[in-house]
Homo-oligomer: A and B are copies of this chain.
């Protein structure tokens, strides 16, 4: 699983501070999360293929989370994209996108499939054989969701040494073993599956939570998540403005990570009021140990065997 930060700042884009957007690869599926102005340029900068983007999740309809979407869609059109594009977003986005395509008479030749979100309860919104995605209802100034991405449990892994000791097992039996079935020999002896296979890799999960007030109820939904991105627009020195604007502080983000028993916390959506971002890490670390700061171009990779996390800066 790897997460590339394309933008991690709040409000207005600046030369080296882009608004929210992330690119997630999980179990060989790829997702774009939020799409602030300039996201298409960030995708190019970090060499992410446009053809990898078939599913876009938009948390809420504030500009710093979706103003880049119409430009990305237009570019897909100019590049002669053919694949369907799925967009998971609050009700209202479809009208905004369709109005602009209509006004500019620039209908793309691919289909846009809008999955309009309006539920206040967590719901399953994407489900295939590898990944499922749930909404994480958040509380902000407009209707907002976070998203929980979960790998599905994979096939069991063949224990080739054990299999070799049973010459009756043929290659055509392997899929049954991977699916968890026991093996029955010609003379009727049952060899239990667990003697021939190893457990599959433990499925990984990622939760994206931006923008929101401190909302401890979400910990239940994202319980035991491997990687948690939680907004921390402010430090607790601005607790009051955080409450007024329905944002979180770094300490609150740390509390959510702790309550959810997350393995790692990524902080982002920093207000431009702050120049020393290390203070965010320090504040969150007062309540939760494993904290990293989002940074444009940072790639956070989680290995699903060792759960070790690796950071790369892609500049």
Q: Interface residues, chain A, CB within 8 Å of chain B?
A: 11-15, 37-38, 40-41, 44-45, 61-64, 67-68, 70-71, 74-75, 78-79, 92-93, 95-96, 99-100, 103-106, 141-142
Report if A104-B44 is in contact (Cβ < 8 Å); known contacts: A12-B78, A68-B37, A74-B12. no
Choice from B37, B44, B74, B99 contacting A63 with Cβ under 8 Å? B74
A104 and B15 form a contact (CB under 8 A): no
**Beta-carbon contact of A106 and B62 below 8 Å:** yes
Q: Closest B residue to A63 by CB, please name it.
A: B74
A72 CB, min distance to chain B CBs, angstroms = 9
Residues of chain B with a CB closer than 8 A to A15's CB: 41, 44-45
Name the B residues within 8 Å of A37 (CB-CB).
37-38, 40, 68, 71
Cα distance A78–B14 when bound, in Å?
13
CB distance from A123 to the nearest CB of B (A): 21
Q: Roughly how many angstroms separate A159 CA and B231 CA in the complex, as a whole number?
A: 66
Q: How far is the CB of A142 from chain B (nearest CB, A)?
A: 6
Chain B positions within 8 Å of A61 at CB level: 103-104
The CA of A34 and the CA of B142, in the complex, are separated in Å by 30
CA gap between A44 and B17 in the complex, in Å: 12
Judge whether A100 and B96 touch: CB under 8 Å: yes
State the 5 A-B residue pairs at the shortest beta-carbon distance, nearest first.
A12-B75, A92-B103, A37-B71, A63-B74, A67-B71
Give A101's nearest chain B residue, CB to CB. B63
**Chain B residues within an 8 Å CB radius of A74:** 12, 63-64, 67
Bound complex: CA A206 to CA B12 (Å) = 31
Taking a contact as CB atoms under 8 Å apart, the answer to whether A63 and B67 are in contact is no
Taking the nearest CB of chain B, how far is it from the CB of A46, in angstroms? 10
Contacts of A104 in B (CB 8 A): 61-63, 142
How distant is A261 from chain B, measured CB to nearest CB, in Å?
34
* Inter-chain contact B78/A71, CB cutoff 8 Å: no
Q: Report the Cα distance A106→B207, complex, angstroms.
A: 27
Tell which of A38, A61, A67, A99 has the most Cβ of chain B within 10 Å. Answer: A67
CB distance from A74 to the nearest CB of B (A): 4
For A36, the closest partner residue in chain B by CB is B71
Bound complex: CA A232 to CA B250 (Å): 50
